Amino acid sequence: MARLCAIVIGLTYLTQATLSAAETKSKDVPPVLQFKAKSLEGKDVDLSQYKGKVLLIVNVASRCGYTPQYKGLEQLHEKFGKEGLVVMGFPCNQFLRQEPGDPQQIREFCTEKYNVKFDLFEKIDVKGPHQTPIYKWLTSREATPTDPGDVKWNFEKFLVGKDGKVVARYRSGVKPESPQVVEAIEAELKK
């Protein structure tokens, strides 16, 4: 009986310690990074690994009029990656089915056509009933008080500062290499 009590006490302590660690993590990690995702190759990615980085989160597609923006996104990755910028591409097939490919086809297209080396994730929904949690947060009034609401098209960009707060939201027509995006990234990297 004493041994059983010791086991129960030990399990209770372990559970409390685990919960405390989870609570501490959620306090230390900004909301945008408290999610998990899968890489394009299907590997689990804990987004908390990007803590302290400047993020440019973009829903991408291979057959869109804005697809050439892959080039500008890769240029930003090459130019600012070592300084702490992480470009995160989330393929999405919700807008006129402009990303029909499977993960291998998406990777081949991005590599062969645009030499993409920035982080690509599995295909997701950025709106609607199956909206992925990170996009549910990004489009919320809490995250983006001045411009909340659904993603309207491919290649919408969310710039997230080192503190995990959305600094700016750029609609599809704003090119990644445009002065307003580059200046905002540079300003965030200096903080």
| Catalytic residue chosen out of the listed positions 5, 64, 92, 110 | 64
Contact 144, 167 (CB under 8 A): no
As given in the structure block, the two tokens for residue 173 are 């027509």
Residues contacting residue 121 through CB under 8 Å, at least 6 positions apart: 37, 38, 39, 40, 45, 88, 89, 90, 91
Q: Which of 167, 180, 123, 182 is nearest to 30 (CA)?
A: 167
Contact 52, 162 (CB under 8 A): yes
Residues contacting residue 152 through CB under 8 Å, at least 6 positions apart: 171, 172
Whether 64 is catalytic = yes
Give the residue numbers marked as catalytic.
64
